[in-house]
Structures are given as structure tokens and as C-alpha cells.
Amino acid sequence: MNPLEGLTVIAVEQAVAAPFASRQLADLGARVIKVERPDVGDFARAYDETVKGEASHFVWLNRGKQSVCLDLKSAEGQAAVHTMARTADVFIQNLAPGAAERLGLGADHLRAENPGLIHVSISGYGPGGPYSAKKAYDLLVQCEAGLVSITGTEAEPSKVGISIADIASGMYAYTGILTALIRRQRTGEGATIEISMLEALAEWMGYPLNYAMYGGTAPARTGARHASIYPYGPFRCGDDRLVFLGLQNEREWATFCQRILDQPELALDPRFSRNSLRVENADELRAEIETAFADSTAEAVAAKLEDAGIANALLRDMHGLAEHPQLRARDRWQSYASPVGELRGLVPPVTIAGASPLMGPVPALGEHTDAVLDEYGIVSAEASTDAT
């Protein structure tokens, strides 16, 4: 039996944050009914066409769900959601600020009809306050949360390359739902849960935030290097590829000098004898290290570092990740169905002994509308008609 088998989730969702949360539930066995707009659906369906004609975000975030098209601007569409929510366990939404309430799908409305319902809302900045109605896209929240200010090089700030604000809020929605399910099992009480992208990402900014509040200055932007430990980061090898390494203490530094650089005396060099000095003289030390690596490939340097017990990594691109030997050895890939045929995806990272993630099909737009509405006794022609 899958951990969440028998649970029903109604997801009025779009883009990344809420779909990321509900897909975790679907993989664990929950039935997720995804409510989409007629004709166009979740706008993430149209982000790109790179996965055999489907969008890369959409196939990642929406496997294992049922797609039901409803016109939520109509009284019939709103009534249909109410009907489904009356017997659901979880309702999750990330519509524009205030939209769920205007549509009669807020926590007060739905939990009055189903007190055991766990109602989850994800927004950019949370209700109340001067930003409550502000549009929130991932890059913009990265800026507001200060992440962009500490990411990138000294010359130029940079965003993180994935939708990290969406993912952070989606993960807190997922864990919040699981927490509320545990409480409901004990008390019978549902829950009203609110998550803001800003607050989720701000929580992840704990280290630089404390560093700045109590140290007076924010951590410097150092690209792929560490702001306060050295050597820790990328170094160029003889084949012009990068190897990344990280030293955490003086014992490792001495080992690195002796076994990797073949210069044991460098460990006591007054420029490099402790971490703060190595950070201060990073450019000189980088020259020493890259000179030592100049006659070796990145793979050879990584092997030598591994043999010496020095933490290391190769810089892999997306093809390298797709063919990663560790993921292959641990059998972390699984096929799942989609409207464009079989796709390959990573098994969810939490492995539960005795349970296998479902990784169900990616739904076509409206694929399950008639069957689901018939199941709930809803007249589908009225509920799913486009608004005029």
C-alpha cells in the first residue's frame, strides 16, 4: 500500500509551486484532481515544446494527476469544485492573490462545508501587508528575498538557475500538508495553511541573513567559490575542464599540500598557514593549485583527490546528470507515460522501504473531465463550458 493511498486532493493550480507540492502527494499514492481552464489549461503546458512536443516543466510537475477542465468564472464550475471539495482531504491553490476568495474557493467557504479539509494557499507575499497584491514570479521573489544579491560574481549578481522560490514554497506546502494530516488523524480537525514564496525563500536565506545582521556585511558574491573558506570551489585542469574541491580544516589542508600538490612545505607558508590567510591570498594560492593541475585531466585530478580523502566533484552539464553513474547504479530512473509516449524521470528522492512511488501518467488537458464529473454526479457540459 502506498503511504497516501485513499487520499483525495483537489488542486486548482498553475505554474510550479502548487503543482510541485501536489505531485509529491501523487507519487505517494494520493489521488490528485487537477482543475484546469478549458481550452488552455495550466499555462505551464505552453512554456516550451522540448519534451516530444510537451513542456519540460509540465511533464516534471504533473505526472500521476487527473486533469479536469472547469470554467471557474461560471457558477456551475464553482459549484463543481465545491462538490468535489466536500469529500476531499486536501485542497491546494496558487491562483492570483484574492482570486480563490472571489471565486468562493477560500478556506472559509470550503472548510465550512468540510471541516476536516486541509486547505492550502500559496502566494507570492502572503495576505496582508503592502505586497499582498503584488505579482510574484520566481526571479522577482529571488530579488526580494536577497538571494540575487549574494549570487553571482563580484562584478555581476545572478539569479539561481532553477525556480527556487517556487520549489521552496512547494516543499513547505508538501510538508505542511503531511503535518496537517498527522494532526487530523489525532484530532479530526482540518487546517488552513498559508505559504508565501517570499517567506519560504527567506527561511532558506538564514545563513547569509544572520551573517549580515550580526556581522555587519553580507557574504561576498564569489561565483562558484566559497565566500569564507579556501580552497573551496573550481580549479582549472590541463584539459581545460574544472574540478571542484573543498577543504574544511587544517588537517585536510596539510594532506592536500603533501599528496595533491606535492609541496608539503606549502602548508606552513605564512601566506597560507590558516584558512583566513588562504582566503586573503586566494589568487596566489589558486595559481599554485592550477599549476599543479596543469598536466592532468579533471578526471585524473578528481581520482587523486578521492584517493587522498579530499572532497571533490566534477562539473557536469545536464547530459552529464542524465547519465550520472551514481543515479544509474542506484536505479534512480523510471519510465512513466504521457500523451506523447513514454518518458524517463527520476524516482522521488525519499525512499520508503516497502513502498514504490507511483509515477503515473502525465494527463492530457481535460482527459478525465467527463469521468470525474460523472463520478461526482456533476453535469459536465455546464461545469466545463468556457466563460463568455
Q: Which three cell numbers stand for residue 21?
A: 507540492
The alpha helices in 226-357, defined as continuous H runs, are 250-255, 275-280, 282-293, 298-307, 318-322, 325-329
Buried b / exposed e along 363-373 (16+ C-beta atoms within 10 A): bebbbbbeebb
Q: Whole-angstrom Cα distance, residue 320 to residue 317?
A: 5
Q: Whole-angstrom Cα distance, residue 307 to residue 236?
A: 19
User: Phi/psi class of residue 216: alpha, beta or left (left: φ > 0; alpha: ψ in -120 to 50)?
Assistant: left
Q: Whole-angstrom Cα distance, residue 120 to residue 173?
A: 7
DSSP string covering 17-37:
HHHHHHHHHHHTT-EEEEEE-
Q: Whole-angstrom Cα distance, residue 44 to residue 261?
A: 50
Is residue 242 within 8 A of residue 274, CB to CB? The reply is no
Cα-Cα-Cα-Cα dihedral sign, residues 43, 44, 50, 54: negative
Q: Is 226 a catalytic residue?
A: yes
CA distances from 231 to 8, 283, 339 (A): 50, 10, 48
Q: Which of 226, 319, 324, 368 is an active site residue?
A: 226
Reduced to 3 states (helix: H, G, I; strand: E, B; else coil), residue 248 is coil
Active centre residues (catalytic): 226
